[in-house]
Amino acid sequence: MFISKTSEYALRILTYMALNSETQLSATILFEELRIPKRYLMRLLTDLSKSGFIQATRGRSGGYVFARPLESIFFSEIIDSVEGLLSYEGCVLGNPVCPIDKPCAMHHIWDKPKLTFLQTLKTTTLADLKEADNI
């Protein structure tokens, strides 16, 4: 189970912003620091704004800041907003469902790490990253 490029970029944007939350960040700064393709970055910033994580200020000194406290933004919400979390809850071999009576060959091996991964996404906030950075 790997995080998609879209989720990776969304997480990179918001974690960078969280670690620099005292500053309003422009799209240009985010582009220069994160090296996410500009069109992709702009689309994600729009999506993250529509999802209520960040808000934009227009104008020459404009940029992006958080619309919610970092403690209330969970990784699972971020991924869910850009691509849906259901793709991570399915079968590791790509089957839409892994039936209990006929599980895939990897089900019993992968089920516990998958549940741990999902639980981590559901309980980790952007504030947790900022706290870890200060240690």
Rounded CA-CA distance 9/114 in Å is 21
| Predicted structure pTM score | 0.86
Fold of 5-133: Arc Repressor Mutant, subunit A (1.10.10)
Q: What is the pLDDT of residues 10-65, one digit of tens each?
A: 999 999 999 999 899 999 999 999 999 999 999 999 999 999 999 998 888 889 99
Rounded CA-CA distance 45/10 in Å is 8
Mean pLDDT across 72-85: 93
User: Which residues face 64 on adjacent strands?
Assistant: 25, 56
Name the nearest CA neighbour of 45 among 80, 17, 5: 17
